[in-house]
Structures are given as structure tokens and as C-alpha cells.
Amino acid sequence: MMRKDYISVLDAEDELTGLVQSALDLKKRRGAGENDDVLKGKTLALMFEKSSTRTRVSFEVAMNQLGGRSLFLNPQDMQLGRGESIPDTARTLSRYVDCIAYRAFDHEMVLDLARNSSIPVINALDDLEHPCQALADIVTILERRTPKGLKLTYVGDGNNVCNSLLLACSLIGIDISVACPEGYEPDQSIFEKARKLASQSGSRCDIIRDPKEAVHDSDIIYTDVWVSMGDEEEAKRRLEAFVDYQVNLSLVSLASPDCLIMHCLPAHRGQEITDEVVDGPRSIVFDQAENRLHAQKALLIALLR
């Protein structure tokens, strides 16, 4: 049984494989024109401090297809924007809706919301993790490959997406290497947790400075933007630091011949990835985007049914 909340990938430590299978089953059923109204009468509140395309749309469509409803809440339009506390907001929303998906700048705010809510809280992205993205990524990978012996290389900034991907890959048994410049490593605590999980699943995780060395014989290359939301003031310094970490045809040529390319989107084309790669035959980035919908549906059912 799922824990009450999904704040971190670790909250689904024992359910990850089941969630992946559920997402794939829901995808097949949708493709066959079958409907699942299992969340009829349920309401999801989407409380978003940051802009969103895939996360917001996939959650809204997921609730609609499952027979429920969603309610979009901009914190600046709520009393939260005028100083109401997170605990009071949590207690109030718990009386109205059945679940809250919170996209926040600060991880502690998500934790505070969950601590004070009597209903499930989903981390729809914060500064530490993006667990919904990682769930969809594993769905996308296992749709095509078996995890045993699989090698994924993440190239770029050790950000929230990287943190969640480290945990998810280590849980499922996929080898993961992070290629990043010094000073842009993933969260140290999460990396240590991932290493322990990898030792249990029979996989491994590493940090390698040289992207060319890191992608050698990789089955999957994954990248994300170099300047995330909230990092705009560091843009110039970041672009200089990551100049050798672009995923281009030259770098991809060093990986396995059937290597897959992943990106959580949005992509800054010409920065972290080139058009030839993101639009190329190895790219599965739009399958990733689609699978956000199916992964979210599986998660909502597990938390609300």
C-alpha cells in the first residue's frame, strides 16, 4: 500500500514496480478506448508556484480521464499569497479536496504542507526532487528495455530531476552515472541513499566529470536544462560551466549503437541538446512527455482509490 504522500521517489520504494506496471496497463486500456472512472467524485487541487506545461496538463487530463476533477490554484490568487500559513492552508484544503499536487520552490514547504494535510500530497516538483518525472521516466524505459545490465548516463546539472532519477534507477536496478562539472553535483544525501539502494538492487551509481568517458557504452543518455527555474541569475556562469556537456551527435556516437535519448523537457535547443539529437531517431523525449499522463494516473489511483 502506498504511503499517504508522494514527496520523494522513496515514498514509493516498495511500490515502484507496481506503479510502473499500472501505468503501462492504463496506457494500453486508453489506447484500446477503454475508460477507467475509478476516481469519480474525487477532486485534485493543483497548487503551483512555478509555471508548468507537462505537469499541469497531465494531472488535469489524468483526473478527467479517471472520472474526477481538478482545481488549479495559483498561490498569488490565494490567501497564501497574502501571508496565510502553509499549515492553515493545508488544514483548509483538506476539508475541500481529496489530494493536493504542489509545485514549489522550497522542498520544506512541500513537507510542511504534507505534515499538516489529512489528505495525500504529491510533490509536483520542488528544488530537491521531481518524483513524478522520475516515475514517468522509469515507465518509458521499462516500456522498451529490461533493467538488468542497463546503463543510463545523465549529462548536465545535478538538479532535482537528476536527484529523483538517481533514486528511481537505483531502486529498479539500472546503473546510473552522472556527468557534471565540479560544483554542480546532485544532492549529496540523495546520492548516498542512491548508492545504498544500488548496492541492494545489484546496480551502481557514479559521478564522472568527463562526459565522453561517462557515456561510453551507455544504453540511455539523459539531459536537462542547464538553467532551471529559480537559477536565472546564474545563467551566464552556468552556460560557461556546462559548455562541454552538450548532448550532440559527437557525444552520442560514443554510446551504444542503439542508445536512447531522454530529456524531461522543456529543452533549450542549442544549449544542453542539439536539434539533431532531440529530433533524431534515437530520441524518446516525447514518449516521456506522454507517459507523464499514464504515470500520474497510476499514482493518483494508488493514493486515492
Alpha carbons within 13 A on the beta-carbon side of 113 = 30
Annotated catalytic residue: which of 112, 126, 133, 271?
133
Annotated catalytic residue: which of 130, 238, 263, 294?
130
Q: Any long-range contacts for 53-60 (C-beta under 8 Å, 24+ apart)?
A: 53/265, 53/266, 54/265, 54/289, 54/292, 55/101, 55/103, 55/124, 55/125, 55/132, 55/133, 55/292, 56/103, 58/292, 58/293, 58/296, 59/101, 59/124, 59/296
Q: Are strands 151-155 and 69-73 parallel, antiparallel or unpaired?
A: unpaired
Annotated catalytic residue: which of 103, 238, 263, 294?
103
Annotated catalytic residue: which of 224, 259, 288, 294?
224
For residues 4 and 9, give the distance between their C-alpha atoms in angstroms, rounded to a whole number: 13
Annotated catalytic residue: which of 56, 238, 263, 292?
292
Annotated catalytic residue: which of 264, 271, 288, 294?
264
130 is catalytic: yes
252's CB contacts (< 8 A; 6+ apart) are 215, 221, 259, 261, 277, 282
292 is catalytic: yes
Residue 296 and residue 27 in contact, taking contact as beta carbons nearer than 8 Å: no
224 is catalytic: yes
133 is catalytic: yes
Residue 122 and residue 100 in contact, taking contact as beta carbons nearer than 8 Å: yes
144 is catalytic: no
69 is catalytic: no
Say which residue the cell 469519480 belongs to: 40
- Residue numbers annotated as active site: 103, 130, 133, 224, 264, 292
